Homo-oligomer: A and B are copies of this chain.
Amino acid sequence: MSVLVVGSFALDTVETPFGRADNAIGGSAMYIATAASYFTLPIRAVGVVGGDFPPEGIAFLEKKNVDLEGIQTIDAGKTFRWSARYHYDMNVRDTLSTELNVFETFNPEIPSSYRRSRWVCLGNIDPVLQLSVLDQIEKPHVVIGDTMNYWIEGKKDDLMKTLRRIDILIVNDSEARLLANEPNLIKAGRIIREMGPKIVIVKKGEHGALLLTEETVFSAPAYPMESIIDPTGAGDSFAGGLVGWLARTDDLSEENLKRSVIYGSSLASFCVEQFGVEGLADLSYLQIRDRVREFKELSRFEEHEPSYGEQTSP
């Protein structure tokens, strides 16, 4: 099924304890579209780049068969740039600089060929722009959205309007707590579901992810990574894997939502094994499926079968 992805395209400069990448191709739409492309096609990208966006970035997406008609190029402008340093404890990072550049005046225009996209994945951009995208799509089947502290704190009213049109919200744990104003994540999920999204997915980094719906709580483990090279893009790869899996299977049952969280987690785990989008460059479907099986093993346990004669009550 068709997936429309809107978000940023960026040039990221990132320093981790394991090295440094300068002006690496990135941005939320880049990661989401790439991750989703392993599961379904067409993937339709919407975003904006400057004249400095390297041809390799475009070639990368072309190789993944991503539709690029919705990517505006402003030749006279510069691509969105972001720079950060991860600490020795890579759960912590300092943002060193953010240059919006062409992203500052970005106004997503959805090409007519995209308007009947069935699945829409709204990367973490201004909720006003997210809404404008939705207004340009004819009856999307499912809308998946991401947001961040910046919009929760600065554009709460707009965000609340957008949330009413989002079916599946993907946020990290601190964003969930902030949005709901509630430290308990289970309660926070319930509060957020009253804002609109019937399904809330909470990313917890090294602690995995939670799927929170009306009926269920599903706890997905984190893949045990000893060598995280660069955490950048993990959350977007998660979203891309998740939406890709859901669009491929067109199945929103609880069972399949659980699977989608694991597929998302798998793509995120591949992402952080290399700098930038490199970890997503050359995966095979078999590799992804094997990792999903590893996830299954990670939290699997069998109940104890009492042997004859063993006490079954204390």
Q: Which residues of A contact B (CB under 8 A)?
A: 37-41, 88-91, 177, 183-187, 190, 204, 206-208, 210, 217-222, 224-226, 228, 248-249, 255-256, 258-259, 262, 285-286, 292-293, 296, 298-304, 311-314
Docked pose: A293 CA to B186 CA in angstroms? 19
- Provide a sorted-by-A list of 13 A–B residue pairs whose CB atoms are within 8 angstroms: A37-B314, A184-B228, A185-B206, A207-B207, A208-B219, A208-B221, A210-B224, A218-B298, A219-B222, A248-B311, A285-B314, A292-B303, A293-B303
Name A184's contact: one of B39, B186, B226 (CB within 8 Å): B226
- Contacts A207-B204, A219-B221, A313-B285 given; does A259 touch B301 at CB 8 Å: yes
Docked pose: A184 CA to B223 CA in angstroms? 12
A298–B217 contact, CB under 8 A?
A: yes
State the Cβ distance, A218 to closest chain B Cβ, in Å.
7
B314–A38 contact, CB under 8 A?
A: yes
Name A259's contact: one of B184, B256, B299, B304 (CB within 8 Å): B304
Docked pose: A218 CA to B300 CA in angstroms? 8
Q: Using Cβ atoms and an 8 Å threshold, which residues of chain B touch A206? A: 185
Specify how many copies of this chain sit in the oligomer.
2
B314–A255 contact, CB under 8 A?
A: no
B183–A89 contact, CB under 8 A?
A: yes
Docked pose: A210 CA to B303 CA in angstroms? 18
Q: Using Cβ atoms and an 8 Å threshold, which residues of chain B touch A210? A: 224
Q: Using Cβ atoms and an 8 Å threshold, which residues of chain B touch A255? A: 301-302
Docked pose: A210 CA to B226 CA in angstroms? 14
Apart from A90-B183, A186-B226, A292-B303, list 16 A-B contacts with CB within 8 A: A38-B314, A90-B184, A186-B224, A186-B225, A207-B207, A207-B208, A208-B221, A210-B224, A217-B224, A217-B298, A218-B298, A219-B222, A219-B298, A220-B299, A249-B304, A285-B314
- Nearest chain B residue, comparing its CB with the CB of A17: B183
- Nearest chain B residue, comparing its CB with the CB of A294: B217
- Nearest chain B residue, comparing its CB with the CB of A302: B255
Docked pose: A293 CA to B114 CA in angstroms? 46
B304–A256 contact, CB under 8 A?
A: yes
Name A303's contact: one of B91, B217, B296 (CB within 8 Å): B296
Q: Using Cβ atoms and an 8 Å threshold, which residues of chain B touch A177? A: 89
